[in-house]
A and B are shown apart, each in its own frame.
Chain A
Amino acid sequence: MPVIENNAFVDDVWSNLHEGDSARDRSMIIVPLARLEEVLAGWPEDHRGLGVDVPNDADIAVLTPHLARLDIVTLNFPGFADGRAFSQARSIRHTEHFTGTIRARGGFLPDQYGFLLQSGVDSFEVSDRFSLAEWVRHAGSVPATYQRDYATGGLATRPFAEAGSRREQPSFG
């Protein structure tokens, strides 16, 4: 499936470890959360190239001890109206300070692209139903946000009038 990062299609370097597959001698794999501890047990400490796929009803607290060894976390949208992954992304990125890739998968819509970016998602597994341009234009369809600590990608936040000079408002685009 096409993957969007930084508003462009990128090659997907990751593959999914399916049920029954062995992780031995593999790299750049995303393993189901249920198998994370087992795979990590056999994974060399200094080895990179491991990711985890997190169901949207999982408590992300179980990830906390392992995040430093992971390069990607994938979050799931069974349908676009199920917004649990927004909070999972925010917690992983903001509360746990995860610096790797957070990828969204499933049935989210271009209209949610901006909110996903703001919640900490930076990689998008998408179908070919919508064009890249369609996704990208939604990043800034409302180019202003009231939530300062969620503002990303040049979204405007309210400037404060400071000692006679208004701070320059960043423009989107």
Chain B
Amino acid sequence: MNMHVTPEPNMYRYDEFDRKFVDARVEQFRDQVARRLDGTITEDEFKPMRLMNGLYHQLHAYMLRVAVPYGTMSARQLNVLADIADKYDRGYGHWTTRQNIQYNWVRLEETADILDMLAGVEMHAIQTSGNCIRNTTTDPYAGAAADELADPRPVCELIRQWSSLHPEFTYLPRKFKIAVTGSPNDRAAVKVHDIGLRMHLNEAGERGWEVLVGGGQGRTPMVAVTVRDWLPEADLLPYLTAIMRVYNLVGRRDNKYKARIKILVHEMGAEAFSAAVEREFAEASRETLEVDARELARISSYFAAPAFETLPAFVPEIEERKLADRGFRQWLTANTVAHKVPGYTIVNASFKPAGGIPGDATSEQMRGVARLAERYSFGEVRVTHAQNLTMPHVRTRDLIEVWQQLRDQGLAEANIGLIGDIISCPGLDYCALATARSIPVAQEISARFADIRKQHDVGPLKLNISGCINACGHHHVGHIGILGVDKKGKEFYQITLGGSSTENSSIGKILGPGFGADEIAGAIETVVETYLNVREQGEEFLQTYRRLGAAPFKEALYAGN
């Protein structure tokens, strides 16, 4: 066998300092587990400690959520995630809606060993749960998308470091999520995060950030408000610090369900909240500004563009295949995205097979994508919010090979952004909070729309399913949302329509009375059929809903009842 050298993508790499930090955190966690097992600390005390390291206790077992910082990882890291799935889980991992991976069958005693394995490839589970600042998320196409202003990931990494084991902000009223986008077309859902950051360029070409605060889903969905139109990049960390301090000091702690920053912003009023932040910001420490800027420059140097070749944008054999092969054409339309460099294409691997469990990945599939990424995408992979993987930099002329190889692994379902690309939480099959199952509902709907031609005819449609009002399945921002609830011991499913998590964000509205577990898939078919009947030429589902409102859908679902 030839010696195979794994290509290392241009992404952040640990130095001695980062390694020391993560190794020490692993040892600290190992010590915390040992003290829990010998009874030195109580379960109540241990719980927030394990959560801050991503370890949940679910219905049947512990679940470990591993951070994939801003969704970027190398093929080498993905291979280790596969090894962990084999060694410590049942051969599976599960991509999450915040660009992470979780393992649903881990053992408490083995967790620190898993963390050691992760640390070996510069990964960790720090702050993937708990009332602290979580993994910063971003556009899965960052650094590749044709429409972005600049790669947002250096700022994400700056925030990752700033927020890691922050001495002041690790015991917050509630969890805290930050999302960043470098593109005007928001694929990072910044308006439904605790803090959203949108990059802008001024006339001089300098970067600044629009700061949005108080968005979120859960029980009380809200769209974030802009508290700063333009924050110079150099002021980013002091400004974030000011927001966090106001929240930490005055965010509600009397009621878990009122403790997110969105409630504080809502109760104080956006203006008063913003004024409090500005007061804090005016007094903020400026002593680290210079090192922050140098640190950002240092981080940015890791994210240099890969060594792209000069290639023609037009590849005749791809165009020919497109005409000749409908399957390829459908895949190209749905699963690939324009790249900023001519001759390159962004490729999505769909983890949404017809009738399958959204976001579930076998260790073999992980290794398969890792192999493809090594060969075709500079060794780089992304996790998306929609629970799929992306290879960001594939040569357009390699697309036929990549498509065929993805198909061999069951990862080429041509449904990205279509009704089969369902986002779903684990629901009552795994989660201790859930009130209804969501996976079987996703599977049934996915099976009913298995016909890819039908999906393409229906067009762009985001269908999101949550198994309880905590909304981990993002039903509030699905074009069609499904919320599972428990009604007198029976599962019921409410339908919401009109949600969106883009730059034109909106919260879906409940359509009417819910449906039983055996009725919900049929009801979704009725909604889709209604749309097909009333849409105008070229109109997507969300546009039709925004034009006509809920009336035709209500009529179709409830008339005669």
Do these two chains interact? yes
A165 to B188, CA, bound (A): 40
Residues of A within 8 A of B285 (CB): 94, 149
Residues of B within 8 A of A95 (CB): 283
A148 to B289, CA, bound (A): 11
Within 8 A of A (CB), among B115-170: 131, 161-162, 164-170
**Chain B: CB-nearest residue to A84:** B249
**Chain A: CB-nearest residue to B246:** A87
A14 lies within 8 A of chain B by Cβ: no
Tell me whether A146 and B167 are in contact in the complex, defined as CB-CB below 8 angstroms, given that A82-B253, A156-B20 are known contacts: no
A147 to B170, CA, bound (A): 13
Contact between A81 and B48, CB atoms less than 8 A apart: yes
Band of interface residues on B: 35 or more
Which of A119, A141, A148 contacts B31 (CB under 8 A)?
A141
**Cβ contacts A14-54/B at 8 Å (1 or 0 each):** 00000000000000000000000000000000000000000
Which of A81, A88, A146 contacts B171 (CB under 8 A)?
A81
A154 to B298, CA, bound (A): 24
Residues of A within 8 A of B249 (CB): 59, 84, 87-88
Contact between A80 and B171, CB atoms less than 8 A apart: yes
B401 lies within 8 A of chain A by Cβ: no
Which of B25, B45, B287 contacts A142 (CB under 8 A)?
B25
Grouping DSSP codes into helix (H, G, I), strand (E, B) and loop, the B interface class, with mixed when no group exceeds half, is helix
Contact between B291 and A160, CB atoms less than 8 A apart: yes
B456 lies within 8 A of chain A by Cβ: no
A5 to B249, CA, bound (A): 26
- Those 7 A-B pairs whose CB atoms lie nearest each other, nearest first: A83-B171, A118-B167, A115-B167, A158-B17, A146-B161, A142-B24, A144-B21
Instruction: Tell me the smallest distance from the CB of A138 to a CB of chain B, in Å.
Output: 9
Residues of B within 8 A of A145 (CB): 21, 165, 167
A147 to B166, CA, bound (A): 7
Residues of B within 8 A of A148 (CB): 288, 291
B248 lies within 8 A of chain A by Cβ: yes
Within 8 A of A (CB), among B2-23: 15, 17-18, 20-21
A82 to B171, CA, bound (A): 6
Contact between B28 and A87, CB atoms less than 8 A apart: no
A25 to B28, CA, bound (A): 48
Measuring CB to CB, which residues of chain A are less than 8 angstroms from any residue of chain B? 59, 80-84, 86-88, 90-91, 94-95, 109, 111-112, 114-116, 118-119, 141-150, 156-160, 169
Tell me whether A142 and B21 are in contact in the complex, defined as CB-CB below 8 angstroms, given that A82-B253, A86-B171, A109-B45 are known contacts: yes
Instruction: Tell me the smallest distance from the CB of A110 to a CB of chain B, in Å.
Output: 9
Residues of A within 8 A of B172 (CB): 83
Which of B24, B45, B245, B253 contacts A143 (CB under 8 A)?
B24
Q: Name the residue among B25, B167, B171 with the largest chain A CB count within 10 angstroms.
A: B167
Q: 15 A-B contacts, Cβ less than 8 Å apart?
A: A80-B171, A83-B248, A84-B253, A86-B171, A87-B249, A109-B45, A118-B167, A142-B21, A143-B20, A145-B21, A146-B166, A150-B168, A156-B20, A158-B17, A169-B17
Residues of A within 8 A of B295 (CB): 158
Residues of B within 8 A of A115 (CB): 165, 167-168, 170
A119 to B170, CA, bound (A): 12
A91 to B284, CA, bound (A): 9
Contact between A144 and B167, CB atoms less than 8 A apart: no
**Chain A: CB-nearest residue to B165:** A142
B49 lies within 8 A of chain A by Cβ: yes
A169 to B49, CA, bound (A): 28
